[in-house]
Amino acid sequence: MTFEQSLARLEQIASALDRDDLPLEDALKLFEEGITRLREASAALADAEGKVKTLLEQADGVFGAKE
């Protein structure tokens, strides 16, 4: 799952859990899934260093990059 998908699912789960009419068993299941998504999303937000490069297209159609 991409960060975007994880977060969207997380938002769904949070809003579902925010309601009281959910059967408890479903709520637990959702919560469990939510924890997984939360881990994914948090990992994606961990400190990472974005690169700034210039796109290079090689003759064989393969793409590379240079500083």
Partner 1 sequence: MSHPGSTAAEAISVLDLTTAAKEMLEGGIPKLWVRGEVTGLKVYPSGHWYFAIKDADSSISAVVWKGATFKIPARPKDGDQVTAFGQLTVYPARGSMQFTVTQMLADGEGLWQRQFDETKRKLEADGLLDPARKRVLPRFPRTVAVITSSEGAALRDVIAVIQRRHAGVHVMIIPALVQGEGAPESICAALEKLARWAVSDRAAAGIPVPEVLIIGRGGGSREDLWAFNHESVARAIAACPIPTISAVGHETDVTIADLVADLRAATPSVAAEHAVPVLDELREHVGKLAGIMADGLQDRCEVGRRDLQRRAEGLSKRAQLVSERRRSRAERVAQRLMQLAPRAAERRRALVARLGAALEAKSPLQVFARGFSVARDDAGATLTTLSAFVSGKQFELLVKDGRVLATTNSVHADAPHLRTDA
The token duo for 44 is 């994606």
Is residue 59 involved in binding partner 1 (CB under 8 A)? no
Site size toward partner 1 (CB under 8 A) is 42
Minimum CB distance to partner 1, residue 34 (Å): 5
Minimum CB distance to partner 1, residue 2 (Å): 8
- Judged by DSSP in three states, 66 sits in strand
Q: Count Cα neighbours of 59 within 13 Å in the Cβ-side half-sphere.
A: 0
Site string for partner 1, 4-43 (x = CB under 8 A): x--x--xx-xxxxxxxx-x-x--xx--x--x---x--xx-
Q: Which of 38, 46, 48 is nearest to 7 (CA)?
A: 38
